[in-house]
Amino acid sequence: MSEISAKRFDMEDIFNALNLGIIVVDAVGKVLLWNNWISKHSGIQEADALNHQLENVFPEPISPAFLTALNNTLTYRLPVVLSTALHRTPLPLYHASEVNQQQTRMYQSISITPIQSNLNESCCLIQVTDSSTSIKREKILRSHSEILKKEAITDGLTDICNRRFFDAHYEMAVADAKRQKHPLSIFMVDIDFFKSYNDFYGHVAGDTVIKQVAVALKSQLSRATDIVARYGGEEFVLVMPHLPKKVAEQFAEKLRNAAFNLAIPHMKAAPFNQITISVGVCTGIPENDSNLLNKADAALYQAKLKGRNQCISLPLCEAEEYLQQ
């Protein structure tokens, strides 16, 4: 810096005008410089900080990671950066309205740089920037990403899993069942006489029925490993691992009863005159990716043929004959 420039500007005024925190400590960690930004966001005035050990200036603890980084810079004379990703709030700094309040610390990005004073002293320059805006932006982007991800795997009408999610989940569930040699149960569910319901009551009412049945089916699930998905139109599919065949058949009846107990009138569905479902279930250790699904669908077909509002269970070894009818 030229002599004219040095006379033109007061360096202390420049440090205090910066929109970032500036702290300088000597070789033993005593504060030599403390700008207005740090005072504003810590509530500690320069006079109360100068010539005191930095770690003793703040009324709250400084993060151990910061103290380690500072010590390393003082000892080895190497710069250190504490990124917001790993060290979000190293110093007890707050936004101006929150100083001296029990609020969340300001997110910070900190760089620690070795410098030499005009008196040939080994010092450290600590620069602190407010990363709150970038963190908020990151959270918003993550939230949007999670929303988009949820929308990609969720059926828009029923808010249960969609066909896309089911296809991926089913493939993994089958692979796991084959590898672990455990049973997997597939339930195919269809709302009985749904076309006649739509024709008589209208499509808006039909959509409401689909949503109500979806809620009733989902309410029967209690394990994180179980899923219910909308397979298409008025058809649903459930995937449930580790169920003995008898338990799977009992659960199918629970599903049927859950829909029946909704007691939704359907005057075009004799003899019950209300909304019912048919359920086809197949349980076993899968041999390939499609056998369980196809055989559960064959069981559903048989439930329809036998009068609807009932459950049919087919074992893996006996389902093929129904597929050929």
Say how far apart CA 228 and CA 219 lie, in whole Å. Answer: 10
Q: Which two tokens stand for residue 18?
A: 């910066």
In terms of DSSP H, where are the helices of 154-202? 163-180, 194-201
Beta strands (DSSP E) in the chain are: 21-25, 31-34, 80-82, 108-116, 122-130, 184-191, 227-232, 235-241, 277-284, 311-313
Signed CA dihedral, 166, 170, 173, 175: sign only: negative
3 is annotated as an active-site residue: no
Residue in 234, 235, 318, 320 annotated catalytic: 234
Do 291 and 314 form a contact (C-beta atoms < 8 A)? no
Q: Is 284 helix (H, G, I), strand (E, B) or coil?
A: strand
| Residues acting as catalytic residues | 234
